[in-house]
Every structure is written in C-alpha cells, then in structure tokens.
Amino acid sequence: MADEETPQEEELPEGGAAPAEGDAPADGEAPAASEAAPEEGAAAGEEGEDERILNQDEIDSLLGFDIDDDAGAQGGGIRAIINSALVSYERLPMLEIVFDRLVRLMTTSLRNFTSDNVEVSLDNISAIRFGDYLNSIPLPAILSVFRAEELDNYGLFTVESNLIYSIVDVLLGGRRGTAAMRIEGRPYTTIERTLVRRMIEVVLQDMKSAFEPLSPVNFKLERIETNPRFAAIARPANAAILVKLRIDMEDRGGRIELLLPYATLEPIRKVLLQMFMGEKFGRDSIWEGHLATELWSTKLQIDAVLDEQVMSLNDVMNLEVGQTIVLNTAPDSAVELRCGGVPLLEGRMGRLGSHVAVRVDERISRATTEEI
C-alpha cells in the first residue's frame, strides 16, 4: 500500500500543479495581461500630465496677482503687460519729495490732534487705474472726496476701518494698551463720521503746506462717502497716483490711502518733473534782462474811442452810403484810449501839424477798469 501511494503523490504534481504552470507560458495569456497593465498605466500617466489642472497659486503667478501683495503692486506676468501702459510715478521726481514732506507734517499735526504718540510712515507710491482701485478698496471704509481748487480737479482719501475705530477710541478717551473695538454689520455713526472728517481736514491742511513750495494749492473737503460707487471722481480707465500711509498710535492704528488722478496733477506736471527743489527758485538775470528789453520795444495798437452807441440790428442792416451817424461828442470831450479792448488812458483830441492827435490827461485806474 505504501508503494502504491508513492506513485500517486508523484502524479499529483504532474497532473495538477505542474501542468498549470506549464500551460501559462504555452498559452501566453498571463504574461500578456501583466505586460499590458504597465503600458496602460504609462498611457494614463501621460494623459494625466497633459491634462494637469493648474492650482490657484500657479494661476495667480501666471496672471501676476498675489493675495499677499498690495493692490497697487506692479506684479508680473499678464498683469505687468497690462499695467505697462500706466505712467510711472518715478517720472515725477518732486512728487516723492512732496509726500515725504507730508509725512513729516502729518506726524506733528496728528500728535497735536490726538494728544497721543503718533507715527506716520509712507508705505509705497504706485500707479494704478482708477477703476481697479475702487474694486480693491476693503470695505467697510470711509471715502473722502476733496477738491484741489487751483488745479480744478478732485482727489480721494480712503480711511480703513482699523484707523477709523482707532481714531474714535483715541479721541473719546479709550484706554491705552487695548485694541479698538470693532462692530461689524452696521453703518458708521454720525460721531464716527464727524471725527474722521476732522482728521481728514487736518491732513488736507498738511497737504496744502506740502505742495506750497511748488505751487499754492488749496484742498477743500467736499463730501464723505461709504460706498465706492458714489466716490467716482474719474473714469475707470484713467491712471492715478496711489499713496499709502500708515498711521500708528502705539498698539492702535491703520492705513490711510491718498489717490490723485494724473489729470489733477497735469497743471503742475512741469514743476513735478524737476529733480530738486532749487530748480523752481533759480533766477536767470540774463534772460530777465533780455525779456525786459524785448517788452519795451514791443509795438502795440492803441484805439482812440470817441463815442459808443447801441443800435439795433435792423438799423445796422439798413445803413446806406451817405448816411450820417451823429456822435454825442463835443470838441472838448474826453477821448478814451484802449489797447486790446482794455481802457488805459484818457485825453483830449486836437491837431498837431497835419495830424489828428490826442493829448493824454490821466491814466485809468485798474479798479475803474474792473467795474467797466
């Protein structure tokens, strides 16, 4: 029995396991399946690389936008190409000097205004489109529209909510060392708007002093808005200068932003193109002497007006050759001498040889000319 079982054990590997292993290479089914699997995986990997979707950071890098950057930053990528059409503020060298002077003046005036230790710093100066700036204003905020009277245009001040609550807290006697309380979801009260208005008036007075060495400009606050749509002072595509100022009062403070459209600065653009302040006050005596010489030798036409009458258009159209217009002037009446329509002198008409002449008696004062 033992001898019979032994051949049976030898037949089991030949008829069972051994043929199964031998059939697989013969048929070729299992190796084909195992070889196809890596090829499909490689093809799927190639398709995944071709159809890979960019994440948000890569999209921002391509477009040139970064959440951590300031709204007025130049950036790179497509954004740099779009903003390349803007005029850089660096082409106006005196503008940076004016804003540095503004920072020093604001530091002193806001210390007197709040009776606290105030530090004002200039974050950056950049060029931006007006529409892009309105869309980037973090709300809630207070927008102050002011008018530059001599420049005949407008500017915009934006006060962030952190600075608003800090100013209110300081002016109303809040404790030092505690952050200002912020209440979201409600409009600004009359007290808050009034206190911010007073602060803006102080800053506008400092701006007047900062621009005074270049050109006298009076800045007047016109209105205060909380909705950027109502603070549109220029077209969305117009270029503007954005100045970001940081105001710190120990552990409190915030940012105030000044926006000046290029159209506002256009009347004093030549002054802002100077490299240093001395260019404005330099006097050229040679040029002044030459100009005075040329002015004295300039020829002007002076009209002697005997009389003026008001006639209807019908009478003027019906005038014919041979008609006489009677003047209400006697031989000794005063004759007015005018240059370019401006009355200058008065005199008496007479004759000098074969010429009709006018003898000057007196000069017409400027006050009398303005009344006329």
User: pLDDT, tens digit, for every residue of 191-244?
Assistant: 889 999 999 999 999 999 999 888 889 999 999 988 888 888 888 888 899 999
The pLDDT of residue 161 is above 50: yes
Weakest mean pLDDT among 49-63, 189-203, 249-263, 354-368: 49-63
pLDDT at residue number 232: 87
Residue with the two structure tokens 């009355």: 343
- What average pLDDT does range 39-67 have in this prediction? 64
Closest CA to 156 of 105, 113, 207: 207
Q: What superfamily does domain 89-281 belong to in CATH?
A: CheC-like (3.40.1550.10)
Per-residue pLDDT band for 93 (boundaries 50, 70, 90) equals: confident
Per-residue pLDDT band for 33 (boundaries 50, 70, 90) equals: very low
The pLDDT of residue 25 is above 70: no
Tens of pLDDT, residues 101-154: 999 999 999 999 988 888 999 988 888 889 889 888 888 889 999 999 988 899
pLDDT at residue number 156: 93
- Of the chain, the percentage scoring pLDDT greater than 90 comes to 20
Give whichever of 26-30, 46-50, 198-202, 278-282 has the largest mean pLDDT.
Answer: 198-202
Per-residue pLDDT band for 72 (boundaries 50, 70, 90) equals: very low
Q: What is the mean pLDDT of the chain?
A: 78
pLDDT at residue number 219: 93
pLDDT at residue number 76: 60
pLDDT at residue number 16: 47
Per-residue pLDDT band for 372 (boundaries 50, 70, 90) equals: low
- Which pTM was predicted? 0.53
pLDDT at residue number 280: 44
pLDDT at residue number 18: 46
The pLDDT of residue 15 is above 70: no
pLDDT at residue number 209: 92
Tens of pLDDT, residues 333-342: 888 888 888 8
Bridge-based pairing of strands 334-339 and 303-305 is antiparallel
pLDDT at residue number 181: 57
Per-residue pLDDT band for 259 (boundaries 50, 70, 90) equals: very high
The pLDDT of residue 79 is above 80: no
Q: Are 249 and 97 in contact (CB under 8 A)?
A: no
- What average pLDDT does range 302-323 have in this prediction? 87
Give the number of other Cβ atoms within 10 Å of residue 315's Cβ: 11
Domain boundaries along the sequence of the chain: 89-281, 296-371
- What average pLDDT does range 152-167 have in this prediction? 90
Closest CA to 75 of 132, 18, 148: 132
Q: Work out the end-to-end distance of the chain between its first and last CA atoms, rounded to an integer number of angstroms.
A: 150
The pLDDT of residue 6 is above 50: no
Closest CA to 130 of 150, 159, 156, 160: 156
Please state which architecture CATH assigns to domain 296-371.
Roll (2.30)
Examine domains 89-281 and 296-371 and report if their fold is the same.
Answer: no
Q: Higher model confidence: residue 260 or residue 49?
A: 260
Per-residue pLDDT band for 330 (boundaries 50, 70, 90) equals: confident
pLDDT at residue number 197: 93
Q: Are 336 and 322 in contact (CB under 8 A)?
A: no
Outline where the chain has alpha helix (H): 2-12, 18-27, 29-50, 56-63, 77-83, 93-114, 130-136, 161-171, 190-211, 262-265, 269-272, 278-281, 285-296, 313-317, 366-371
Residue with the two structure tokens 């009209």: 303
pLDDT at residue number 229: 87
pLDDT at residue number 26: 47
- Of the chain, the percentage scoring pLDDT greater than 70 comes to 72
